Amino acid sequence: MKEIILLKMGEIVLKGLNRKNFEDTLLRNLRRRLAKIGSFTVKASQSTITVSPNSDDEDMDEAALCVSRIFGVATFSRACQAKKDIDDIKKQAKEYLADVFDRASSFKVESKRSDKSFPMKSPEISRELGGYLLSQYPEMTVDVHDPDVVVTVEIRDFGAYIRAGFEKGAGGIPVGTGGRACVLISGGIDSPVASFMMAKRGIELTAVHFASPPYTSLRAEEKVAELLRRVSLYSGRIKMITVPFTRLQEEIRDKCKEEYSTIIMRRFMMMISERIARDNGCQALITGESLGQVASQTLGAMVCTDEACSMPVFRPLIGMDKDEIVAISRKIDTFEVSVQPFEDCCTVFTPKHPKTKPVLSDVIAEQNRIDYEPLIEEALQNLKVTNI
């Protein structure tokens, strides 16, 4: 008996003339990610992608987990492949569904006949297979309204596939179809979630992390790398660029009014991130800000921050509350890492009374107390690159 994985594409099928580009990108992403697990053949036909192991030794549990995290997959199911012959379909179904039927008391059969050359119509397939399964598992009952198990038979170009139900995939669209953007990543809860959400819309990520040793530790940087590793299970590869930020932060502390320090710090981050983004072929910046969550995330503060760069800034969490953000962080398994107690540069030199309604001209006047351009250039000359 040969087991495969069937993947259904979601909104990709609505893409019209661009559909092939989305499908091809999804297939490339699947092949690249599955290659780390084993040897699989991935091909698309009739809005369904099949993932077939090239030997009996491949880990199908790990393969199913892998495809469940790849954006562009709406649903997936493990299935067995049979010949396009009703007797073989019955034989394979009995064997493949044994474990599922042991945990259920009712079932129904649904059939889909994409290959119209198959001699039996869909209702006939369902009736024939349902009757056979009932004879083999007499303790089961047929329930067409609310069954414990829905057995689906698909007669397709390359064979007959039998499956019991399906699972939700990651959804979204394939990474690489939405362009490239640069995400400002800290060690907190929000920015990994923002990264995940933009990758779900097809964005290929480059991550910028600001480190301020000795005020921040190597452990803090390693924490960010681990967060990105967990995001990369969904997004695929990420380039992490670490920016030495100590001298700029010390200059802000020493020369600017304390209440403006967070906004000025974030303006410098945007200036640096924009230059890194352009050097890496990115078209936008991404942050994990949520409106009103902290003093630096008021509308006025964000207006002052955005003025420091000309590149679009995406904030996918802008209208979410903390509970919603935490729920996603738990789903993608970043929450427990995010709450580890390591300082990041955003919490260094935090003002007691930050400006929540800053005036741009006042912010710029304070910022200009620093000769910041040489310090920005120095930071850009000492970047550290880590491939996740």
Q: Is 208 exposed, middle or buried (0-12, 13-18, 19+ CB in 10 A)?
A: buried
Q: Which of 114, 137, 168 is the last residue of a domain?
A: 168
At residue 295 the predicted structure's pLDDT band, cuts being 50, 70 and 90, is confident
Is 137 in a helix, a strand, or coil? coil
pLDDT on residue 79: 95
Q: Tell whether the model's pLDDT for residue 225 goes beyond 90.
A: yes
User: Is the pLDDT at 352 greater than 90, yes or no?
Assistant: no
Average confidence (pLDDT) over 44-48? 82
Identify the domain boundary among 109, 142, 168.
168
Domain boundary among 123, 143, 168: 168
The edge-to-edge listing of strands for the beta sheet with 313-314 is 313-314, 285-286, 180-184, 204-211, 239-244, 384-387
Q: Where are the alpha helices (DSSP H) in the chain?
A: 19-34, 60-68, 86-96, 98-102, 122-136, 190-200, 218-235, 246-255, 261-279, 299-306, 322-331, 335-338, 360-367, 372-380
Considering the domain architecture, whether residues 299 and 152 belong to the same structural domain is answered as no
Burial (0-12, 13-18, 19+ Cβ within 10 Å), 116: exposed
Of 147, 154, 111, whose CA–CA distance to 7 is shortest? Answer: 154
pTM score above 0.95: no
From residue 42, give the alpha-carbon distance in Å to each of 4, 45, 67, 345. 10, 10, 11, 44
Residue 173 lies in a domain: no
Residue 163 domain-assigned (yes or no): yes
Phi, psi of 353 (to 5 degrees): -130, 75
The whole-number pLDDT of residue 45 equals 81
**Between 226 and 187, residue with greater pLDDT:** 226
The average pLDDT across 109-128 equals: 93
141-142 vs 106-113, strand pairing mode: parallel
The Cα–Cα gap between 9 and 80 comes to 20
Which range among 14-18, 68-72, 194-198 shows the weakest confidence by mean pLDDT? 14-18
Higher pLDDT: 297 or 281? It is: 281
Please check whether residues 89 and 213 belong to one and the same domain. Answer: no
Share of the chain above pLDDT 70, in %: 100
**Which 3 state secondary structure label does DSSP give 251?**
helix
Shared domain check, 341 and 282: yes
How high is the pLDDT of residue 377?
97
pLDDT digits (tens, 9 = 90+) for 138-184: 999 999 999 999 999 999 887 899 999 889 999 999 999 999 999 99
Domain assignment of residue 354, yes or no: yes
Q: What range does the domain containing 113 cover?
A: 2-168
- The residue-averaged pLDDT of 196-213 equals 97
As a whole number, the mean pLDDT across the chain is: 93
Q: What is the pLDDT of residue 351?
A: 76
Token code pair at residue 250: 């010390």
Specify whether 19 is located in the same domain as 120.
Answer: yes
- Give me the numbers of helices (H) and strands (E) for the chain, helices first please: 14, 15
pLDDT of residue 14: 80
Cis-peptide, bond into residue 192, ω within 30° of zero: no
**128 and 188 within one domain:** no
Q: Distance from first CA to last CA of the chain, Å, rounded?
A: 37
Dihedral over Cα of 61, 63, 68, 69: its sign: positive
Going by pLDDT thresholds of 50, 70 and 90, the confidence category of residue 3 is very high
Tell me phi and psi for residue 312, to 5 degrees.
-60, 145
Give one word for 159, left, alpha or beta, with left for phi > 0 and alpha for psi -120 to 50: left
pLDDT at 17: 82
Nearest-angstrom CA–CA distance, 362 and 307: 13
Residue 108 clears pLDDT 80, i.e. is over it: yes
Is there a single domain that holds both residue 146 and residue 249? no
CA–CA separation, 216 vs 342, rounded Å?
8
Give SS3 for 384: strand
Split at pLDDT 50, 70, 90, the class of 228 is: very high
